[in-house]
């Protein structure tokens, strides 16, 4: 936590000068516009993943939080220590009539580096691992099929993103929610300093 905030504070200064909730709530909902569904992804910094998913048509909301650990109702400081087993994650609520789960998974891949373990860009530790946390058998099959297609394509020799059943999802503190909207300058400083876009361009061949 201190390292991340130090990067943010330092670069922001330079730029300015120039439920505890379980995933099952909403998961596995019928594919209709009147019944939103849910999906959980971990892609490193949850600020970045929340902002990315909220741009995707069909997504109703994206919420920053913690999943995959052993401690109930963990704090950001506890998760940042790497000792709770949680990953920074986002819970995405979406309208299946407008965007499908496989489309969400494909979108997710293009916003992470799936080739590394327990890190994303400048952030290191198990809390920054990547993961797809499926809510039912259909999501498991679709996530695994997407991963297998990527491997078959030859783009990656290996993919280190875990695909496991979803457990409890704990929303992060309020100051983390919509961080990009609340703190655009600080977030821009963090994203530039972390090299996220530069690495994504290398991994996916995009600008």
Q: Which of 109, 110, 128, 108 is nearest to 119 (CA)?
A: 128
Q: Can you tell me whether residue 151 is helix, strand or coil?
A: helix
- Give the integer Cα–Cα distance in Å for 162 and 89: 13
Classify residue 80 as exposed, middle or buried by CB count within 10 Å of its CB (0-12, 13-18, 19+): buried
CA atoms within 13 A on the CB side of 11: 18
Catalytic, 122? Answer no
Q: Which of 7, 11, 39, 45 is catalytic?
A: 45
Spatial distance between the Cα atoms of 120 and 41, rounded to a whole number of angstroms = 13
The catalytic residue positions are 45
């Amino acid at each position: 936590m201190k390292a991340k905030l130090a990067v943010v504070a330092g670069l922001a200064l330079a730029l300015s000068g120039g439920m505890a909730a379980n995933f099952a709530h909403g998961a596995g909902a019928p594919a209709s516009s009147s019944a939103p569904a849910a999906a959980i992804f971990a892609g490193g910094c949850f600020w970045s993943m929340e902002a990315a998913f909220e741009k995707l048509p069909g997504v109703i909301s994206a919420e920053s939080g913690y999943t995959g650990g052993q401690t109930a109702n963990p704090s950001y400081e506890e998760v940042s220590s790497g000792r709770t087993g949680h990953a920074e994650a986002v819970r995405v609520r979406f309208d299946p009539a407008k965007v499908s789960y496989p489309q969400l998974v494909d979108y997710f891949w293009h916003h992470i580096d799936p080739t590394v373990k327990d890190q994303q860009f400048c952030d290191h530790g198990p809390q920054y691992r990547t993961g797809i946390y499926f809510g039912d058998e259909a999501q498991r099959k679709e996530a695994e099929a997407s991963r297998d297609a990527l491997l078959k394509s030859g783009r990656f020799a290996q993919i280190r993103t875990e695909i496991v059943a979803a457990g409890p999802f704990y929303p992060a503190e309020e100051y983390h929610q919509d961080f990009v909207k609340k703190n655009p300058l600080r977030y821009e400083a963090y994203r530039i300093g972390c090299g996220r876009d530069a690495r994504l361009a290398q991994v996916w061949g995009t600008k």
